[in-house]
Structure 1
Amino acid sequence: MDFQSSLFGAVATSPGVRPLDGAPHGVERTTLTRGAWVDVLRNFVVGADDVLERLVEDVPWRAERRPMYDRVVDVPRLVHTYVVGEELPHPLLTTARDALSAHYLPELGEPFVTAGCCFYRDGRDSVAWHGDTIGRGKHADTMVAIVSFGDPRRLALRPRGGGESIGFEMGHGDLVVMGGSCQRTWEHAVPKVAHAGPRISVQFRPLNVF
């Protein structure tokens, strides 16, 4: 695959991460129902082209299959998870994780320690409605911080049990953080679309949240 920077904007001259609390363009919080919230920071990672290229080339991507009804089907994306203590594939990802841990420590009470990666190769790749409720996310408030690289895709959210859905477009280098009770009381998905280029999401999580 050819990942040209022209697809995603100009190459940054000073790679890094934007301050999460930098006025007037810091994190913007949307309050949901039942104690859930979503934070968004556009262009969080400066120098996202290089990160995307490294993710494509260096992550040991794998395809998964899972049972569905009476058959086994392909999971519509490639995946890999970096566990606690494992080196991330680009130093900007480490910088991003450390910045997120420092910023959210007063609310979260612990650092982000794992990084799950999903490779959406085109518009047919997706993730169905779900919450990260394996582990502590099933019974306690927690956070999942997603940094997106590549073509924009929509992160959709809806209340568990029914209700109107909302969406946040995740662009190249953008940050979306789901917090509070979001994993228990809301569901999220990345729907299929007719046309989309490649996109990789990196999901930073605390210990024992899946």
Structure 2
Amino acid sequence: MDFQATLFAPAAEEPLGDDGFTRTPLTRGAWVDVRRAWLPDPDDVFDALVRDVPWRAERRQMYDRMVDVPRLVHTYFPGEALPHPTLATAREALSAHYADELGEPFVSAGCCYYRDGRDSVAWHGDRIGRGRMSDTMVAIVSVGDPRRLVLRPRSGAPGDGRHSLSIEMGHGDLLVMGGSCQRTWEHAVPKVAGAGPRISVQFRPLNVF
């Protein structure tokens, strides 16, 4: 199924502006910010990502066998040029917006290509590197078909379930996970019965994976 760009897709009223961010406090010092229709020219960004990113399929060990990772991936490391100038501008804007809280810039950009509703990502936290021990941030920009990002507390403490959260990320939307979110919460993109292609770009500080 192909993603169909539309004249009726939401446009950023004030591209890359600082207003319109909605913060949801979670438990144990975690929080999530959402800014709808934040990214300018999401159709153009989506087309460039599909065309220009050197997507690769991965396989990983699961129990006693190797399985396909259900999405395509690529990471732009610090110093590497991003595939669209809007993404470079977005990363700079995020670094400026969160400078006081984060204290450092976003430097890398991980890309995930969900080709249809069968592609997904399982429950996890970005806990490789500094995110395992320290508070940090991961900023996600989504382009393409809407998909749900779901969050839940990592522990099975009584009552934690009522704090679970589901956020539908639309074309050009921004979601930022901050505070202790990577250490104390997990997030996932579940499979769905039907969806068109969607790409997420995850901006991270140095040594957060």
Asked if Structure 1 and Structure 2 have the same fold, meaning a TM-score greater than 0.5 normalized by the shorter chain, the answer is: yes
Which residue of the partner structure matches residue 5 of structure 2? 5
Of the candidates 47, 70, 73, which is equivalent to residue 76 of structure 1? 70
Post-superposition Cα deviations, 1:54-96, rounded to whole Å, max 9, x if no partner, equal 0000000000000000100000000000000000000000010
TM-score scaled by length of structure 1: 0.93
Taking CA–CA contacts closer than 8 Å with sequence separation of 6 or more, which of the two structures ends up with the larger relative contact order? 2
8 Å CA contact 1:11, 1:47 repeated in 2: no
| Identity among equivalent pairs (%) | 74
SS in 1 for 2:98: helix
Amino acid at match of 1:28: T
Of the candidates 3, 16, 19, which is equivalent to residue 17 of structure 2? 19
8 Å CA contact 2:3, 2:196 repeated in 1: no
8 Å CA contact 2:137, 2:176 repeated in 1: yes
Which residue of the partner structure matches residue 95 of structure 1? 89
Which residue of the partner structure matches residue 121 of structure 2? 127
TM-score scaled by length of structure 2: 0.93
8 Å CA contact 1:155, 1:169 repeated in 2: yes
Residue ranges of structure 1 left out of the alignment (5+ in a row): none
Q: Give how far 1:9 is off.
A: 3.1
SS in 2 for 1:37: strand
Task: Return the alpha-carbon distance in structure 1 between the equivalents of residues 9 and 192 of structure 2.
Answer: 25
Equivalent residue pairs, number: 204
Task: Return the alpha-carbon distance in structure 2 between the equivalents of residues 116 and 85 of structure 1.
Answer: 13
Amino acid at match of 1:126: S
Superposed, 1:25-104 pairs within 5 Å as 26-104=20-98
8 Å CA contact 1:16, 1:95 repeated in 2: no
Instruction: From the superposition, tell whether residues 154 and 3 of structure 1 become closer, same or farther in structure 2 (CA, over 3 Å).
Output: closer
Amino acid at match of 1:42: R
Post-superposition Cα deviations, 1:136-193, rounded to whole Å, max 9, x if no partner, equal 0000000000000000000100001133221111000000000000000000000001
1:175 matched to 2:174: yes
Task: Return the alpha-carbon distance in structure 2 between the equivalents of residues 204 and 196 of structure 1.
Answer: 24
Instruction: From the superposition, tell whether residues 183 and 45 of structure 1 become closer, same or farther in structure 2 (CA, over 3 Å).
Output: same
8 Å CA contact 2:2, 2:197 repeated in 1: no
SS in 2 for 1:46: coil
8 Å CA contact 1:152, 1:172 repeated in 2: yes
1:193 matched to 2:192: yes
Task: Return the alpha-carbon distance in structure 1 between the equivalents of residues 47 and 30 of structure 2.
Answer: 33
Aligned-residue CA RMSD (Å): 1.7
SS in 1 for 2:90: helix
Residue ranges of structure 2 left out of the alignment (5+ in a row): none
Task: Return the alpha-carbon distance in structure 1 between the equivalents of residues 8 and 113 of structure 2.
Answer: 20
Q: Give how far 1:18 is off.
A: 3.0
1:136 matched to 2:147: no
